[in-house]
Each structure stands twice: as structure tokens, then as C-alpha cells.
Structure 1
Amino acid sequence: MMVSMDRLSATESEQAVEWLRQTGQTSGFMTGFNPGGWPAQVWLLHAMYQNAALIGPQTHHDARRSVIDRGAVEPLMIGGVDLDAASTVSGVPLGYVARPNEPWIRLRWSEYLDQIGGSLQSPHDVPPSIRWFPRGSWAQSVSPPPEGSLDEVTWYTLIDVLSEASPLGQQCFAFYGSLPSRDFEAVEVWRGSVGSLATFIDSSLHDFTPTNVWAADRGSSIPITTSLRPRSAAHTS
């Protein structure tokens, strides 16, 4: 049976993140840290999927308006404001997303960019992010890469790579920023073996993967941003 991660006490958590605090990134405790100085890094492009049966001009926003207009669902109202009427449904999920069943199939970033007349190899002004794609609502046939969290496929692939590259029993820390944890009072840090990261979604009771993961000896770090960027950066020494 796989051992789950253990949440550190408040004092232990503060000690564990002290090196991140010293980066001076004031927003880090909310959305995650991106410590520099690493000799190598790689971008993890969050997974997206496509359903060929839905290919056409309809967008996620169109689909939402259709079910509202038919009376199948009620508009989302907050404080008397109709959010559906005042906003555009982009279709981009927020948080951890499980791999969908068929007929949804994996759609690589390069494949989607080719479909919309772009290119993965073209010069880009920003790192991999939502800004690589057209603004507005995505086509209904595409399930976009999630924001703020790794998806199931990318998360477990990352764990497999880290487990293979790490010494047996390698310990690591996992930190949650206050936005995904919804706790603006306490610093939340967990500790366990690299392999125990696989139990994290269940053991932490969050619907996001950790904001930052790093080896106990700080030989590597994985900042998983919770901003509007469907990608994560892995740094290693």
C-alpha cells in the first residue's frame, strides 16, 4: 500500500518555505514561487483533448447559451447579477482535470496550433501560456488545457519521471498557495516520498495539484503556477 504525504505543522511549514520567502516574490504565497538560478528547466504543457464528433463552429460559450435558452439550466446569478449574460464562457477548466473517456482523444499543442494556423515552433513573445491561443471562447470540440493545476495525465507522467530519476525513498515537499488552498491564514506544506505524490489529490482534499514541489535537498523544484497559464516549469540541478 502506498504511503500518503503528511501535512507539516505550522512551524515546520514556515521553516520549509523559508528559502522560497527569501526569493522576494511577494505573490508567491498566493500563486506559487518560481525560484531562479537553475542550470536547466523544461516546460510541462498541460494536456488538452478533442472530440471529432463535435468539430464545427460552435464554441463552449454557444453551448452554454443554448442550454440556458432552452431552459435546461438556470443562469448563474450572484448578488442579482447574471454572470452568464455579463461574461464569456471560455471553456478553460480551472484546477485538476481527469483524463476524459472516448471519443475524446489527446490533442497535442502542436496539433491544435496547426489547426488554427499557428505553430509550436514560431517565435513567441511569452513562455507557453494561454496567450499562445486565440482569445475568447474555445471550440466546443476541444477541451482546453486547465489553468492553475496540472491535469491527471501530466501530473502522473511527471511523478513517473521524478520517481525514476530520484534515489529510492527520496523525500520531497509540496506547498499549496493560498488561492488553490483557499486558506489565507496558514502556510500549507506536505512532506513525503516522491512516489507518495501520486496520492496527493486524495490526501490533501484539494482539487488542484500542489503549487510548488521540491526535493528535500532542493536539488530540483517544480513550480506549478495558479495563474492563467496552462503550463508548468520543472527546474533541476
Structure 2
Amino acid sequence: MGMALKIVKWVGIDFGQCLMSPSSLRNPRMFGDIGKLLGKHEMIPVWIERMRRLKEKYKTYSLVKEKHREEILTFVFDHDREAYELFGQKEPELLSMAPGLREFLIWINAEGIRPSVVSELKKTLGPVGTDMITKFLIAKGIIGSFQYFITPHGKMDLATGEQFENYRGTSKESGTLYDEILKELRTQGIQPQECVMIGDKRITDIIPAKRRGLITIQYTGHIDEGPCDESDYVAESFFKVKEILERL
């Protein structure tokens, strides 16, 4: 174990707009690849235009991805499930990682901490590699740097694939998911003030975590929701996150 960390014993990181950037959803290359694979070259500009219109409707690709994903199937691909499934396969390959993330993960693991991904995943957990988030971690070669994938549908050990049911029915926004995390950590002798939550969304990542005593870092590298009283720190990259943790 390294010697830089004095206080921190647990780190949780949100996925969307934190670990990854959704900006590649507007990448014409993805739709081009799908059209070529399916022999539907004529649909490529149609899909690109529909995705642009969907983004205009909901203002950001982040909202499309997180809250209106079903419209990618129903509107963009007009219920073409084969095209939509290819989209799901291509997406993790094209999504980009947050600046400094790989370097941060190497460092934090050397310090003896494997972070957990803490996400409001909407779908039921399946095996590792069957959901968008673990596909992304695998595609980027960083899944081994994380310990758990924690969601309102359960917790998954990313090394073994074992799943735990005690998180079912919790949520980040209500704070019950953080209550469950802290309940488990206390059995290991870890207190809230020794835990760090990193995320971009005030109502799910920052406010409920801070109210339970966690150290909070508001990540602004992809989306900046503006100042938040419950943010202990603000970071625009994971290079900055590392600097913050080294000072604690």
C-alpha cells in the first residue's frame, strides 16, 4: 500500500458524465459502422439526423442516454432492434474516458483502494459484460481497477461476478443507497468521513452523500451543474481528483 492517503479508505465514482463522456453519441462514425454492417447505407444520414433531433429535444446527449434511451430504439432506429443492438455494442468502444482516469486508477489501486462504481442503473443486473457500464469498463481495460458495481438493483463483485441483493429498492437520490454502503463499510471499521463520493449530479451524487458525512467531489469535466454547497471540492479532471485526495 502507498503512503499518500492518510484519511481516505473508500472511493465511489459515478459513471455517466464522470467516468465516461457521452459526447461520442453524436459521432457519425458509429452510425456509419452500423449502416455498413447491416447493409443499410441509406439509413446512415437518417439515423444521424434523428439523433441530432433527439438531442435538441432533450438539450444534452447525457439526458438522452440516461433518461430517454428507449427513444434511440423507437425514434432514431424506428424499432430496428438489430441496429439498436449493434449500437449497444459499438457505444462502449467509442465512448471516451474522463481525462486522467487511467492514471488515477493506477495510483489509487497502488494506494490499496479499488474504487466502486456507484450508478443509478435502470435495468436489472445481469452477468459482467451484459450492461452498458461493465461493457465500457471491459472495453477500456479498466474493469480490474474497480471492486464493486453498486446500483439500486444490487451490488456486483467485478472480479468474480457474484451479486448481492441488499441494495435492491434503494436509490441515490433518496440516499438509501448510501445508507446501505455505509452500513457495510462500518462493519469493516470504515466511517463516513473516511469515504469519498465523486460525481457530477448534485441531487444524486453530492447532496445525499454529503448529508451522510461523506467527503464529496463534484466532477465538472463533462457537465458543470454550477456551485453546490454540499460539494467539498470541485474537479474538472481525475488529475485534479488525485491532487485533492493527496491533500486530505
Which band: TM-score by shorter chain?
A: under 0.3
Q: Which has the larger radius of gyration?
A: 1
Higher strand share: 1
Higher helix share: 2
TM-score by length of 2: 0.27
Give the TM-score of the pair, scaled to structure 1: 0.28
